Amino acid sequence: MIQGKRILITGGAGFIGTHMAQRLVADNRLTIFDIDLAGPIRFSPLASDERVRKVQGDVRVYDQLAPLVAESDIVLHYASILGVKKVIDHARETIDTILAGTRNVLEAARLNPRIERLVNISTSEVYGNVMDATEGAAASVGTGNDPRLSYASAKLMGEHLVWAYHRDFKIPTVIVRPFNIYGPLRTASNAVGVFCVKAVANKDVTLHGDGSQLRSWCYIDDFCDAMMGCIEKPGAAGQDFNLGNPVTAVTIYDLAERIIRLSRSNSKLTTTPYTFSDIGVRAPNSSKARELLGYHPKFDMDQGLRPTIDWYRDHLSEFQAWL
């Protein structure tokens, strides 16, 4: 168990950052650093928890970030641009936030001899189309004038930076590639969230293409279990992990049908042509995480979707833009 540590979470007011902060706040001194402190954290008791220091700032600005890294024992680097549409519309900002932010975190950590762990979140999208993805598999982020690829390309370059600082300066880093994490508090546009909102509002659920895209879906509690292992387990330092739930791989069509069924919704499924590039198949092999982190996902699809649907139902007024 992590206790008595000074922990910095960049992007800490976001979806994953808030869930991790909720786990760590009781026994540690937390600092949340985020450009938007009115993100998902506003739905959490952490928003008014005086034990949590909240600092508004930009990871691209070294002088804002470095003093916080300098006083930390553990750094969880989650800050990034999220959401397909936002990435497409803001490709330059996406690249800059990921690359400049990651380099700033690493450079500040290099100067802090007390750093015990630095966890960097990458993305499963670095693999392109992949089934049973193992660590070390070849990356495939594409080339050319496709702004959708700016996110995965920048995340892959961020991984190279993390590996370089680990090799050159012995920083105890961990790289995590999440595979489709979902659950309560996620406010950035995503398939599960949008489908839940439309289903509880009894609006048509629209699929891009025919819905045959295959994804492995991982409930946030399972993901955070693995993230805790990345912090706690001595053998995690200097490693990379593909984190998801391999047994929950379903098509987008099946996902939408499940959400409609579990919501007891009158929604109908409709389709629309693609307006952006997409990945057909994405699912992990989590055997390395199982071996080194003791990672065993507990939530099947329905078990994870039920509390997620309930949360979106309770906060439907917040998501009118998705309808």
pLDDT value at position 274? 67
Give the three-state DSSP class for 126: helix
In a domain, 200, yes or no: no
In a domain, 145, yes or no: yes
Residue 1 confidence class, pLDDT cut points 50, 70, 90: confident
Q: If you average pLDDT over each of 115-129, 200-214, 228-242, which comes out highest?
A: 228-242
pLDDT in tens, 200-224: 999 999 998 888 888 899 999 999 9
pLDDT in tens, 8-64: 999 999 999 999 999 999 999 999 999 999 999 999 999 999 999 999 999 999 999
In a domain, 204, yes or no: no
Q: How far apart are CA 271 and CA 179, in angstroms?
A: 24
The average confidence (pLDDT) of the chain is 94
In a domain, 64, yes or no: yes
pLDDT value at position 275? 62
140: its two tokens: 């495939």
The residue assigned the tokens 């706040």 is 25
pLDDT value at position 283? 83
Residue 318 confidence class, pLDDT cut points 50, 70, 90: very high
Q: Who has greater pLDDT, 228 or 148? A: 228
In a domain, 227, yes or no: yes
Average pLDDT over residues 89-96: 95
In a domain, 47, yes or no: yes
Cα separations (Å) of 298 from 44, 161, 231?
23, 33, 20
Residue 173: domain span? 6-181+220-244+284-297
Lowest mean pLDDT among 14-23, 146-155, 170-179, 220-229: 146-155
Residue 165 confidence class, pLDDT cut points 50, 70, 90: very high
Q: Who has greater pLDDT, 74 or 271? A: 74
Average pLDDT over residues 282-289: 90
pLDDT at position 280 over 60: no
pLDDT at position 141 over 70: yes
CB proximity list for 162: less than 8 A, separation 6 or greater? 102, 106, 118, 120, 173, 175
The answer to whether 301 touches 254, Cβ cutoff 8 Å, is: no
Phi and psi angles of residue 259, each rounded to the nearest 5 degrees, phi first:
-65, -40
Average pLDDT over residues 140-165: 90
pLDDT at position 166 over 70: yes
Q: Is the alpha carbon torsion for 283, 284, 290, 294 positive or negative?
A: negative
Domain count, the chain: 1
Angle at 235 between CA 1 and CA 141, to 5 degrees: 110
pLDDT value at position 128? 80
The answer to whether 219 touches 284, Cβ cutoff 8 Å, is: no
pLDDT value at position 278? 59
In a domain, 69, yes or no: yes
Q: How far apart are CA 69 and CA 25, in angstroms?
A: 18
pLDDT at position 140 over 90: no
Residue 146 confidence class, pLDDT cut points 50, 70, 90: confident
In a domain, 269, yes or no: no
Q: Who has greater pLDDT, 213 or 276? A: 213
Specify the CATH number for the domain of residue 68.
3.40.50.720
